[in-house]
Amino acid sequence: MFDVLTIAAVADEFADTLVDGRIQRIGLIDRLSLAAEIYAGGRRRWLVASADARAGRLHLTEHPPSLDTALVTPFGLLLRKYARGGVVIGVEQPPLERLVRLSIAKRLGRHNGRRPRHADPPQQDDEEDADEASWVDDNGEFDATYVHLVVELMGRHSNLLLVDDEGKIMESAKHVTSAMSRVRPIWPRLPYTLPPPVDKPDPRRLTAEGARVLLSSEPPDALLAQVLVRRLRAVSPQMGREIAFRVGGNIEVTVGSLSPEMLIAVARETRALLEPLLTSAWAPRVYKGDEMDPAFSPVPLAHLAASGTEIPLPTISAAIDAAFGEPDADSPSPHSQRRERLSQAIGEARKRVDARLASIDAQDAKAAQADRFREWGELIYAYLWQIESGQRELSVDGTTIPLDPALSAKENAQAYFERYRKAQGAAGHLPDLRATAERERAYLDQLLTMVAQADGFAAIEALTAEWEAHRGSSGTEGQRPSLPRRRATPGRPKPVMERNGNAIFVGRSGRENDLVTFDIAGPDDTWLHARGVPGSHVIVRWRQPGADEDPETIGEAASLAAYYSAARGSGNVEVDVTRRRHVRKIKGAGPGMVTYRQERTMAVRPAPEPPSARKPNAEQPLSRD
């Protein structure tokens, strides 16, 4: 849907609203998407651009997107250096190209008369425009650095680029080597060039005779919409269907069904559809229906209006926002990039643990053959008188023993005894190595489960901090050292209060599991955990410690334990229940890893909140009676 019409409408909107605006913030949403907060005309807007092959887009939005501050790329660093704090001074769309170029001017600070390589200007108040006088140097010359942010929306060839004022590429979201494209490589310090021109007729100048010549070589059963896309420059499938609908009343009009009058209409409707490129007479629309995906357009489209409901909107960005769907602030989806990257890092660590366990299994198999090596060595000594120099094997009582012909008989025997001793020595360490690896795998499974169920930015950041702390303490191999992060102590989880005033706590990370089990809970409180699967620790903190457990409260807490576990999607989940005094930390394991005894098991249906739950208030103190 981001064809030349849409991109032209976006460029016009940007020119009307963003020029002279100051870029307050800029950063990456993911590796192929950026967002910039721009203050212009007394309003803040967010510019969102994505070079994703399947979900590329460019528009303004009132909803602040979720910037991934932990994502560091060369492109993102240069954006911050050269664009943040800069002023948008121009917006341009080359004719019939699916790209927009935003020109940005920024004054970089000076030191001893020279502009430093890495310096951002002091940030001004959001409500103030940049002081142009401060941009003039001692010689009265305008002292600014100019860069151009180029957003190319061309399907799988989409890209985001930062270009200097001399036309050289500074950095890009995607690199394209000369081996990938001899025509147009994309690499830092190479000259930036527009996409190569397409040798097709300009649809803005299509005449009736031109349409007749264009279609005369096509087979009669060819669809008009597809022919227009294939034979005319910059005509998208959506535009082709619209022209066909206007000409013949449906989108499946064939070339052979066109009358002379309809050939005239093809040229007329093609020029009419592209007229806003000259007049900027945009009329954005969104189209929705039960049997169609939401669609948007900068001009009315009759073929979409015939299939769904047409909704006029004031700007093309509003139409794009409506078609993509407004983000839900309470939904974890805005933070999916953080979640996905964290899950990927933990998953890679788990693969390494699996490889370690496979290696231990291989060593265990070798250790099982240790007695055979000892037996072979003893048989060689017993039959030294039969072994000749250069002999390759010894056969005794149905047993065939391989021999190294380069060694003597005694040296072969000693080699087998040495392999026996090494296998025996390794076998002694294997149980400890296996136990350590299995504890590590169990902790990573727990962490993966909690990342998948994290319900917001704070939860994902807490799990990220826990993962980085664990990675640093365990010396996980294959990981690059990360910058130090502030290690916040996990806050006290909020309890769920059931009808009798007993507090139910749920740990949502390894650290919180430790906190609710060993700090909040007393020895007589009840501890619950889904049986045999990773999940949260759940504690029932009784108002009267030591009293008999309330079966209904235990059932509600068990449903919570089942819900906050890897078995959430199951109909019935087994949950282990025991008093907290029977729970012990596992020495050397990650946060939240425990052993327990004297448990009983109950089967429950997962539920996110007990039916009798209510929030604590002044009448429901958390203190013990």
* Interatomic CA distance for residues 400 and 416, integer angstroms: 14
User: Any alpha helices (H) in 39-141, and if so which ranges?
Assistant: 74-82
pLDDT of 126 > 70? The answer is no
pLDDT for the residue numbered 26 = 95
Q: What is the mean pLDDT of residues 362-376?
A: 76
Give the tokens for residue 619: 């009448």
pLDDT tens sequence across 223-262: 999 999 999 999 999 999 999 999 999 999 999 999 999 9
Average pLDDT of the chain, as a whole number: 85
User: What's the pLDDT tens digit per position in 19-47?
Assistant: 999 999 999 988 999 999 999 999 999 99
The pair of structure tokens assigned to 481 is 């050292």
Taking 70 as the threshold, does the pLDDT of residue 437 lie above it?
yes
pLDDT category at 462 given cuts 50, 70, 90 is confident
C-alpha closest to that of 232 among 525, 76, 3, 420: 3
CATH of 4-172, one of 2.60.40.420, 3.30.70.1230, 2.30.310.10, 1.25.40.20: 2.30.310.10
With contact defined as beta carbons under 8 Å apart, do 81 and 118 qualify?
yes
Cβ neighbours, 10 Å, residue 268: 17
Percent of the chain with pLDDT over 70: 86
Q: Is the pLDDT of residue 222 over 90?
A: yes
The pLDDT, as a whole number, for residue 74 is 95
Q: If you ran DSSP here, which 8-state letter would residue 38 be given?
A: E
Pairing of strands 285-289, 292-297: antiparallel
Q: Express each pLDDT in 512-534 by its tens digit.
A: 999 999 999 999 999 999 999 99
Which single residue is written with the structure tokens 């190569």?
196
Could you give the CA distance from residue 598 to residue 296 in angstroms, rounded to a whole number?
62
Task: Quote the pTM value.
Answer: 0.58
The SS3 call for residue 250 is coil
Query: Taking the mean position of all CA atoms in its chain, how far away is CA 316?
Result: 27
**Residue pair 258/276 in contact by the 8 Å Cβ criterion:** no
Tens digit of pLDDT for each residue in 381-431?
A: 888 888 888 888 888 888 888 899 889 888 898 998 888 887 776 666 778
Identify the DSSP state of 576. Answer: E
pLDDT bracket for residue 292 (50, 70, 90): confident
Residue 70 makes CB contacts below 8 A (sequence gap 6+) with: 338, 341, 464
Question: Which residues does 559 contact at the CB level (< 8 Å), separation at least 6?
Answer: 604, 605, 606, 607, 610
| Cβ-based neighbours of 91, under 8 Å, separated by 6 or more | 11, 14, 15, 18, 19, 100, 101, 102, 103
**Contact predicate 201/232, CB 8 Å:** yes
Q: Which two tokens stand for residue 500?
A: 């009798």
For residue 245, the surrounding DSSP H or E stretch is helix 237-248
Going by pLDDT thresholds of 50, 70 and 90, the confidence category of residue 377 is confident
Per DSSP, the three-state class of 60 is strand
Q: Residue written as tokens 């390794």?
A: 426
Extents of the domains making up the chain: 4-172, 199-281, 334-474, 496-604
Would you say residue 484 has pLDDT above 90? no
- pLDDT, mean of residues 195-224: 93
- Alpha helices, DSSP H, located in 49-156: 74-82
Q: 491 - beta bridge partners? A: none
Q: Where are the alpha helices (DSSP H) in 42-173?
A: 74-82
Q: How far is CA 610 from CA 98, 498, 604, 606, in A?
A: 53, 7, 12, 10
**CATH 1.10.150.20, applies to 199-281:** no
Is residue 173 within 8 A of residue 31, CB to CB? The reply is yes
pLDDT at residue 339 is higher than 90: no
Angle, in degrees to the nearest 10, between helices 409-453 and 370-382? 180
3-state secondary structure 422-440: HHHHHHHHHHHHHHHHHHH
| 69-114 pLDDT tens trace | 778 899 999 999 999 999 999 999 999 999 999 999 998 765 444 4
pLDDT of residue 274: 96
- Percent of the chain at pLDDT > 90 equals 58
Residue 488 pLDDT class (50, 70, 90 cuts): very low
Residue 475 binned pLDDT confidence (cut-offs 50, 70, 90): low
17 pLDDT above the threshold of 70: yes
Evaluate if residue 366 carries a pLDDT over 80: no
d(CA 12, CA 19): 11
- Give the lowest-confidence range in 137-141, 307-311, 396-400, 483-487: 483-487
Contacts 24+ apart (CB under 8 A), 209-214: 210/267, 211/263, 211/264, 211/266, 211/267, 211/270, 212/263
Over range 445-472, report the average pLDDT: 85
* Whether pLDDT at 329 is above 50: no
Contact 102, 63 (CB under 8 A): no
117 pLDDT above the threshold of 50: no
Alpha-carbon distance of 535 to 445, in angstroms, equals 9
Q: Please determine, for residue 593, whether its predicted confidence score (pLDDT) is greater than 70.
A: yes
Is the pLDDT assigned to residue 273 strictly greater than 90? yes
8 Å CB contact between 6 and 312? no
At residue 607, does pLDDT exceed 60? yes
- Which pLDDT belongs to residue 161? 97
- Higher pLDDT: 55 or 60? It is 60
Torsion of CA 496, 497, 499, 501, to 10 degrees: 150
Q: Which residues contact 148 (CB under 8 A, 6 or more apart)?
A: 101, 102, 103, 104, 162, 163, 164, 165
Which residue from 291, 288, 282 is spatially nearest to 310, judged by alpha carbons? Answer: 288
Radius of gyration of the chain (CA): 35
619 pLDDT more than 50? no
Give the model's pLDDT for residue 123.
Answer: 42
pLDDT tens-digit readout, 534-561 = 999 999 999 888 788 999 999 999 999 9
| Gap between the Cα atoms of 144 and 317, Å rounded | 30
d(CA 329, CA 311): 24
